[in-house]
Amino acid sequence: MLDALNDTRYHEPVLFEPVIGLEIHARLLTETKIFCGCSTRFGNRPNTNVCPVCLGLPGALPVLNRRAVDFAAKAALALNCEVQERSIFARKNYFYPDLPKGYQISQYELPLATEGALEYTANSVSKRVGIIRVHMEEDAGKSLHEGFADSDQKTYLDFNRSGTPLIEIVTHPDLRSAADAADAFRRLREILTTLGVNDGNMEEGSLRCDANVSVRPVGQQTLGTKTEVKNINSFRYLEKALEYEIGRQTGVLQSGGTIVQETRLWDADAGETFSMRSKEDAHDYRYFPEPDLPPVQLAPARIQEIRGTILELPDARRLRLMADYGLSELDVKALERSDLVALFEGTAKAAGNAKAAFNWISGEVARKRNELGERFDRERVLPQSLAKLIGIVESGAISASIAKTVFERMYDSGRSADEIVEQDGLAQIGDEGALMASVRSVIDANQDAVAQYRNGKTGTIGFLVGQVMKATGGKAKPALVNDLLRRELDQ
C-alpha cells in the first residue's frame, strides 16, 4: 500500500485541451485556369483541358487570370483580411508525378492577404477564428490509380485539374474542439459559396481541409507539438478525424510519450489516422520568387471595387432576419433549409405581416417545397401573390383552412388568390340568411344531437357546428354558425 502511494506513476490525472488550426484549399469558380486559358470544367475526358502552360512544357509562360485575383481578394475581404496592394508568387519545389513543372506556383513570403477573422454566431454566442493568411496558388493534376485494365501495374495522370486556381486559407490555432472546428469549416464553406467564388463540393475536391491539431495540459500557455491530418472530405470526417487524433495524442502524452510532428492521413474506413510522412519544413520546399510572373498589384480603388461586390454574408443576414422580423435562430435555419429566405422577406414586406408570412412559408410553402423537391417552381409562389392571400385571410373573407385550398389552387393554376376565391365561390359565408337554410337542415337531420343539447349536454353544439361547416364546404363563418345554432336550439 505504502509502495503504491509513493510510486510516482500514481498522480492526479492531467486534463488535456485540444488546439486546432485549419488549412483550407478552395477551388475558385473561374471559367479558365489561373495561368492559361484552359477550361476548368470538371469531369471532362482526361487531358483534354490542357496546354503547354498547365502541362509544364519548357518555355511556356504563365499569365495571371485577373478574375482569379478578384475572387481570391473577394474571399479574403469577406474574411476581414487585409488585402495587400502588392503580393508575390513563389515557386514551391517538390517532386510528384502530378506536378509536371516540378514546382507549384504559390505565394509564400508576401501573400495576397493577411490577418483576418472568420466571425459567426452559434446559438447566440459570437465566435471568432483568426485568419493568418489567404494566398493564391495553382492546383496539381490528378493521379489515377484505378479504373484501367492495367491499374495494378500503372498509374495514369490527368492534367485537366493542373493549374486550376485555388486559394489557401490558414486559420490561427483558435479552435478548441473537434465540433468547433467542423462548425467553423461549415461557416467558411457557407461564406465562400455565398460569395460565388467556390462551389463547396467536397466530394469532388473543390473544397478541402487539412487539420492541424495538438493537445496540451489545461492551463499551459505554450502550444504542444502538432500533427497535420489530411485527406478529410466531409464535415463529419473532419470531426471524427480530429476526435481520433485528440484521443491518440492525449493517450501518448498520458503514458509518458511524446508527439512526433508529422503529417497523418485520415482513413475513413478504419476511422483512424495513420502516419504518412514526417512533416517537411518550409526550407524543404526551397521557395523562391517566381521569375516568370510580375508582382500582383492591386490598387486601393480595385480593392474597393471588389469589396463592393460582396453582398450580405450568411451570418449578418441571419442576425438581420432575427432583428427585423422577430424570428428565432431556429426559424431562420428552417427558412434556410428549405431555401425560402428570399420568399419570406419579400412576402413579409409585401404583406406588412412577418408573423403571417413566416407561418405560411414555414408551413404550406415549405411543405410544397419539400414534397416537390427540385420540381418546386418558385415562379408560382411570388411574394406579391402570397401577400395578397394573407391579406384576404386577414380581412376575414376566407377562413384559414379554405386559405390552404386557395394556396394549392394558386400553385396549380397560376390564378391569383382573389380570382380563385371569387371564381370558385370560396368566400366565407357571413350572411345569416344564406346560412340559415344549412343550419335548419342540419338540425332536422340530427335530432339525436339536438335532443342531447336540449337535455343539457351543450357540448354537442360543436358537432352541429361541424356539420354546418361540412354542408357549406368549410365556407361558413364558424362563430356565426355557432350563434345561429344556439338561437335556433334555445327557442
- How do beta strands 113-122 and 125-138 pair? antiparallel
Please tell me the count of residues contacting Zn ion according to CB under 5 A: 5
**Which residue, 38 or 296, is less far from Zn ion as judged by CB?**
38
d(CA 187, CA 203): 17
**Which residue, 177 or 446, is less far from ligand ADP as judged by CB?**
177
Examine residue 68 and tell whether it contacts Zn ion (CB under 5 A): no
119 binds, among Zn ion, ligand ADP, none (CB under 5 to 8 A by kind): none
First-to-last C-alpha distance (Å) of the chain: 95
Q: Give the one residue of 20, 24, 54, 450 binding Zn ion; rule: CB under 5 A.
A: 54
**Which residue, 142 or 172, is less far from ligand ADP as judged by CB?**
172
- Residue numbers 338-357 binding Zn ion by CB under 5 A: none
What SS3 string covers 299-349? CHHHHHHHHHCCCCCHHHHHHHHHHHHCCCHHHHHHHHHCCCHHHHHHHHH
**Which residue, 117 or 382, is less far from ligand ADP as judged by CB?**
117
386 binds, among Zn ion, ligand ADP, none (CB under 5 to 8 A by kind): none
Examine residue 36 and tell whether it contacts Zn ion (CB under 5 A): yes
51 binds, among ligand ADP, Zn ion, none (CB under 5 to 8 A by kind): Zn ion
Torsion of CA 377, 378, 383, 385, to 10 degrees: -20
Q: How far is the CB of 232 from Zn ion (least distance, A)?
A: 29
Q: Give the one residue of 38, 335, 366, 450 binding Zn ion; rule: CB under 5 A.
A: 38
**Which residue, 26 or 36, is less far from Zn ion as judged by CB?**
36
d(CA 266, CA 426): 62
Examine residue 51 and tell whether it contacts Zn ion (CB under 5 A): yes
Closest CA to 136 of 99, 110, 174, 162: 110
The per-residue b/e assignment along 117-145, b for 16 or more CB within 10 angstroms, e otherwise, is: bbbbeeeeeebebbbbbbbbbbbbbbeee
Examine residue 34 and tell whether it contacts Zn ion (CB under 5 A): no
* Segment interacting with Zn ion, rule: CB under 5 A, options 37-45, 108-116, 431-439, 472-480: 37-45
Q: How far is the CB of 204 from ligand ADP (least distance, A)?
A: 24
Sign of CA dihedral 293, 299, 305, 308: positive
As a whole number of Å, the CA-based R_g of the chain is 32
Q: How far is the CB of 257 from ligand ADP (least distance, A)?
A: 17
**Which residue, 21 or 163, is less far from ligand ADP as judged by CB?**
21
Cell of 484: 345561429
Query: What residue ranges bind ligand ADP (CB under 6 A)?
Result: 19-23, 170-173, 212-214, 223-224, 226
Examine residue 53 and tell whether it contacts Zn ion (CB under 5 A): yes
**Which residue, 224 or 383, is less far from ligand ADP as judged by CB?**
224
Q: How far is the CB of 60 from Zn ion (least distance, A)?
A: 8
Q: How far is the CB of 223 from ligand ADP (least distance, A)?
A: 3
Angle (deg, nearest 10), helices 341-351 and 329-337: 120
Cell of 348: 413579409
Residue with cell 484549399: 25
170 binds, among ligand ADP, Zn ion, none (CB under 5 to 8 A by kind): ligand ADP
Q: How far is the CB of 163 from Zn ion (least distance, A)?
A: 6
53 binds, among Zn ion, ligand ADP, none (CB under 5 to 8 A by kind): Zn ion
* Segment interacting with Zn ion, rule: CB under 5 A, options 46-54, 213-221, 256-264, 370-378: 46-54
**Which residue, 280 or 324, is less far from ligand ADP as judged by CB?**
280
d(CA 361, CA 379): 15
Examine residue 129 and tell whether it contacts Zn ion (CB under 5 A): no
356 binds, among ligand ADP, Zn ion, none (CB under 5 to 8 A by kind): none
Angle (deg, nearest 10), helices 432-445 and 478-490: 60
- Contact residues for Zn ion, defined by CB under 5 A: 36, 38, 51, 53-54
